[in-house]
Structure 1
Amino acid sequence: MAGPVVFFGGSVVTGEDSAGVVEAVLVTGGRVAAVGGEVEVRRRARDVGAAEVDLGGATLVPGFIDAHHHFLFGALDRRSPDLHRVPAGAGVADILGLIEQHVVSTPGTGWVRLFGYSPADLREHRHLTREELDQVCPDRPLLVIALGMHSGSLNSAGFDAMGWLPPADVPDGGRIPFGRNGLPRGEVIESALYLAEATSRGSLVANGGDAWLVEARAHGRDLAASGITRVGDAAVSPEFDVLYERAVSGGMLPITVHRMPIGSESLMAARTTGPATGSGPAGSPVGAAKLFLDGGEACAVCLSVGETVRMLGRLVTSTVGGGSLAAVRAAVSGNMIRPGRDFKMHRGMLFWDQRALESTIVSAAEHGLQTAQHAMGNAAIAQATRALRAVGDRLDNLPGRPRLEHTLFCGPNLATRIADVGAIAVVSPIWLDELGESFRGAASLVPDLPPIPMRTLAAAGVTLAGASDYPSADYAVLPAIQAAVTRRIASDGTLCSPEEAVTAEEAFRAYTMGSAAALGVDDIAGSIAVGKQADLVILDKNPLEVEPGSIGSIRVLRTYVAGKLVHGDRTIVG
């Protein structure tokens, strides 16, 4: 346990609504012991022999909390090249070169996996083919996961290892496109990807997971350097429960990681039989059970006939004058938009039957598990709110509140329904940096469904929790707060649905108290208040006072978890 310490000499943002002006903070026993005026707090600090940290004009804030972060994958894939970080204009050959280098540098006979290529950003605008992957990795199963983590590509050995060369049956909730020869082209989509991902993941820790533990410590240190003190790991299979507990007992987890359970066979497999949310070691407690309602690239969107006609009209208008008609063809194809029995038009995949979803949430509650429903499109969000209304108060006595993960496309009426069932919307404004151009196009086609609708949700009274969805997007919180406030797309400086901007204070709160509420720990984390765990960050500037366009450039100087320094710039006195 770290010794007592007192912070003074700068500004303090407590994150509490009624804290008033705070000049100093005293920490003892890993918890906040006093907040208030400098003279009184420093007097108390001397009584307990506290070390002094003079902020030197810097700003003390609560530790940032990433409510939806794939920590497990961040550690698992940490030693492989990030395929997303290729130069603009890169093509398939560039990606294959990186893959080949990694295969050569990774000896063995088991699975090879890499992450991060974006088909839309490659010159060829497509996935990698099975034959191309065979050229760089002919003898070992190879899985290359696309950036959004809802699709990817396998080589022939990978398809063979899955029993899919050719597949007797395509997995429910997924797709495996075929070539003219009747064999898989290479892509695996949604549930097909998740089955291959789980198989490759299990093979990489079959030897006991010691390498993963080392990388988990390194990844935790990286997060602490960004001011992140707590995350929700949004997909933890049973074999990693043991590894997390080993990491905590061995002092190898610098930050707190909440384990959101899934089944072992796939990210889409529910695990709702316990242990209960909040149980387990304090450094890695069990989180909410994860349920996948819709896809990513195939997120479930529902439009009225009028909205569909207006969207197609905008598509036609945008392609007049020499533009490609590919978007129109995609939009009107059966795979893109289809009529439903509700006289509305539907796109994407819904993975759950309504009654099965409701009974699963009830079963989770009976085992003490809160639930987090992956719901990106408005059709999935509507299904989630119907389920929560149907299960009534069964979740009320569990830690936290029910969560809706991503909440990407949502209008005012649906936002009100989210508020009415008491759910928390987990949002990722950093996606505006990563995917802003695509979102801007979607917003122009269907303005009633703006992407990442933070203002609409907040206006309806929905609690917002900030998240990254790392490794699908950067985990740095300050650039995410900037994106939420400015709605400015990094690549070209234009705005995406600027009417959905929130204030710096609202965005800051999403990554502190909002995410603490999503993890069910707002009583012990998320703000600087007496009795709460001393998860603290020192920033060189106050994010609530600088010009919004410069929030992302604020530097993290020090990070404390339970009063212990886990990242530090030694230029600060103390």
Structure 2
Amino acid sequence: MERFPRPAERHRAADFVALGGTVRTMDAAGTVAGGLAARGGRIVAVGSDREVATLIGADTTVLDLDGRTALPGFVESHNHPAFFGLTLAAPVDAGSPPNDRVADIVDRVAQAVADRGAGEWIRGYRYDDTLLRDNRHPTRADLDPVSRHSPVVLTHVSGHFCVANSVALRTVGITAATPDPPGGHIARDDRGEPTGLLVETAAFLVTSRLPGQGVAELTEALLLADEEYLANGVTSVHDTGVGLIGGATELEAYQALLRAGKLRTRTRGYLIDGLVPGLAEGRPERPDLTGAGERFTMAGVKIIADGSIQGRTGCLAEGYACAPDEHGMMLLDPAELGRRIASLDAAGWQVAVHGNGDAAIEAIIDGYARLGSPSGTGRRHRIEHCQTAREDQLDRMAAHDVLASFFIKHVYYWGDRHRDVFLGRERARRISPLASARSRGIHFGLHSDTPVTPVPPLEGIWCAVRRRTRDGEILGPEQAVSVDAALRGYTIDAAYLAGEENLKGSLEIGKLADLAVLSEDPASGDPERIRDLSVEATVSGGEVVWARANARSAR
């Protein structure tokens, strides 16, 4: 016997109803309801169980919340879906855990070579030199003994480095005579021979030429990522770097999924600047993407200004605590960065610039400030990661209406090393300065930068509220925000970053019926437990697209 009657006649019945729990709408007033109804993928009613139940008809899909909590589907404001999917399918997991030493990674490479035979490319992802007991990058000297006839490439967890064995270096033509590319570095030993470590743009000399990254493989990678997003309540993703891994082939993979109707996560794309036709001449063109719409929209362009703090390539105004004479590196000259920003702005593109170090952030803000007042232009330019933004820089961001997507999970995953190794205590306590940004009215989203850190938004919300590191220290408690503010960083405020706040990010009449159903209400319990809550179901456009076995549905 069904728990809910079906009184509505066909002409007024909803396609989808969720009721029987808590619906936290995340609207401006913070409305909390009992249920909602949707028709044609859009919300048509939000109210009490009794009100919503009147819209249940013979063909209505009913999701029984059974005391659980529905939120807007999470919006991940900075991710790399193709890269993520490739890591899920890779033969070597080089991360820590499970690896404790370089030798552990080498053992996994040896097994992959044995499984695949000589000559086949072996790829591994997620190694982190700062978590290995050796406290160093692997080298070709480590890899060569187990891979004398197979090219091997291991990509750093940050995505800013890779390590190639001798076969891979020979295959792509990197020798002692190869010069460092602009914005990159080829690490060399005392004899001038490449060690295998390739930094920033030098890594692209290998990763851009990996075989088997055609449409079929990238399509499969996107589908693998898609499933993981939905399992974590993520219904929308900002792909901040379309083409970063597969070049123009990534666009073809998206088009293939759109034509097949298989892309379930709504994706907002930011094309890597190197793929923008005409940008070098100052006349950027918008590429045609057949089939674009609610499932995929090319929103803007991604530019990378500097590297990563944990790789000591993030560009800092003051030197690294562990190496005071090192300031990191700009991947683009500030004047060239400003020129690209101006050209893209004039062409109507939204611009998203990667900036970790405060010197890079200063150059990005300078570029945006030269555009003049944003009032009335609809301009929503962004700084990605924005990890070490100073108070004076946040003042300038507020003055020029510059938005931010903060990589909040840095606090947990690298906070201890930022404090003890890279930045020192005072600079480290200010990474991801959410409270300071919020006090100035700066719109910001939160992100995981997956595959750099795991997807779950609940973990990111916990990081924003608790600011606890791996070692258990609270890092900069004055920069913590409320649960409500953190939830908004993954819902309505993240939607604002892409100009989609009228379409998604809150559960209001007329908006998309995108929901994440959680085991408990994150706003009413112990904030320390937020990361331990589970996603029970994910709804996209009024359709249950992912559910645990115990998520009850009438039909």
Contact 1:66/1:228 (8 A) holds in 2:
yes
Partner of 1:282: 294
SS of aligned partner of 2:372:
helix
1:157 to 154, 158, 167: 167
Say whether residues 1:63 and 2:78 are aligned partners: no
Classify 1:275/1:212 alpha carbon distance in 2 versus 1 (closer, same or farther; 3 Å). closer
One-letter amino acid matched to 2:503: I
1:371 to 329, 351, 355: 351
Q: Tell me the CA shift for residue 531 of structure 1.
A: 1.0
Percent identical residues: 27
1:299 to 314, 322, 326: 314
Partner of 1:322: none
Classify 1:394/1:140 alpha carbon distance in 2 versus 1 (closer, same or farther; 3 Å). farther
Say whether residues 1:122 and 2:132 are aligned partners: yes
Moved more, 153-162 or 446-455: 446-455
1:204 to 185, 205, 212: 212
CA distance in 1, matches of 2:390, 2:289: 31
Matches for 1:131-146 after TM superposition, within 5 Å: 131-146=141-156
CA distance in 2, matches of 1:369, 1:396: 15
Classify 1:397/1:106 alpha carbon distance in 2 versus 1 (closer, same or farther; 3 Å). farther
Contact 1:232/1:259 (8 A) holds in 2:
yes
One-letter amino acid matched to 1:284: F
2:500 to 508, 516, 521: 521
Q: Tell me the CA shift for residue 25 of structure 1.
A: 0.6
Question: TM-score, normalised to structure 1's length?
Answer: 0.86
Partner of 2:337: 357
Could you report, residue by residue, the CA deviation over 1:437-464 in whole angstroms, capped at 9, with x for unpaired residues?
Answer: 1133356444487111111111122111
Moved more, 23-32 or 385-394: 385-394
CA distance in 2, matches of 1:469, 1:273: 27
1:7 to 2, 18, 38: 18
1:83 to 76, 89, 94: 94
SS of aligned partner of 2:163:
strand
Matches for 1:96-245 after TM superposition, within 5 Å: 96-106=106-116, 109=119, 111-200=121-210, 203-206=211-214, 209-237=215-243, 238-245=248-255
Question: TM-score, normalised to structure 2's length?
Answer: 0.89
Could you report, residue by residue, the CA deviation over 1:293-313 in whole angstroms, capped at 9, with x for unpaired residues?
Answer: 11112111113xxxx7xx9xx
Provide structure 1 residue ranges, at least 5 long, that are not aligned to the other structure.
316-326, 337-346
Q: Tell me the CA shift for residue 228 of structure 1.
A: 0.6
CA distance in 1, matches of 2:360, 2:510: 39
Matches for 1:310-389 after TM superposition, within 5 Å: 327=322, 330-331=323-324, 333=325, 336=326, 347-389=327-369
Q: Following superposition, which runs of at least 4 residues in structure 1 exceed 6 angstroms of deviation?
A: 276-279
SS of aligned partner of 1:452:
coil
Partner of 2:486: 507
One-letter amino acid matched to 2:107: G
2:270 to 260, 264, 271: 260
1:95 to 100, 105, 108: 105
Contact 2:68/2:521 (8 A) holds in 1:
yes
Partner of 1:566: 545
Contact 1:439/1:496 (8 A) holds in 2:
no
CA distance in 2, matches of 1:115, 1:247: 25
Say whether residues 1:538 and 2:522 are aligned partners: no
Say whether residues 1:24 and 2:39 are aligned partners: no
Partner of 1:341: none
Partner of 1:324: none
CA distance in 2, matches of 1:440, 1:393: 37
CA distance in 2, matches of 1:281, 1:135: 50
Classify 1:115/1:348 alpha carbon distance in 2 versus 1 (closer, same or farther; 3 Å). same
Moved more, 458-467 or 73-82: 73-82
CA distance in 1, matches of 2:154, 2:375: 38
CA distance in 2, matches of 1:279, 1:350: 36
Contact 1:83/1:117 (8 A) holds in 2:
yes
CA distance in 1, matches of 2:103, 2:375: 50
Say whether residues 1:433 and 2:412 are aligned partners: yes
Could you report, residue by residue, the CA deviation over 1:7-58 in whole angstroms, capped at 9, with x for unpaired residues?
Answer: 1111111110125342221111111111123333322x13685333221111
CA distance in 2, matches of 1:396, 1:193: 41
Q: How many residues are paired up?
A: 528
SS of aligned partner of 2:371:
helix
Partner of 2:446: 466
CA distance in 2, matches of 1:410, 1:278: 38
CA distance in 2, matches of 1:104, 1:367: 51
CA distance in 2, matches of 1:123, 1:57: 46
SS of aligned partner of 2:317:
strand
CA distance in 1, matches of 2:376, 2:168: 44
1:495 to 449, 470, 474: 474
Q: Tell me the CA shift for residue 416 of structure 1.
A: 1.2
CA distance in 2, matches of 1:438, 1:366: 41
Classify 1:75/1:395 alpha carbon distance in 2 versus 1 (closer, same or farther; 3 Å). farther
Could you report, residue by residue, the CA deviation over 1:137-166 in whole angstroms, capped at 9, with x for unpaired residues?
Answer: 223332211112112211112222332212
Classify 1:38/1:425 alpha carbon distance in 2 versus 1 (closer, same or farther; 3 Å). same
Matches for 1:412-451 after TM superposition, within 5 Å: 412-441=391-420, 444-447=424-427, 450-451=430-431
Q: Tell me the CA shift for residue 253 of structure 1.
A: 1.8
Provide structure 2 residue ranges, at least 5 long, that are not aligned to the other structure.
1-12
Contact 1:361/1:371 (8 A) holds in 2:
yes
SS of aligned partner of 2:256:
helix
Moved more, 357-366 or 464-473: 357-366
Contact 1:4/1:51 (8 A) holds in 2:
yes
SS of aligned partner of 2:153:
strand
SS of aligned partner of 2:298:
coil
SS of aligned partner of 1:530:
coil
Partner of 2:258: 248
Contact 1:6/1:26 (8 A) holds in 2:
yes
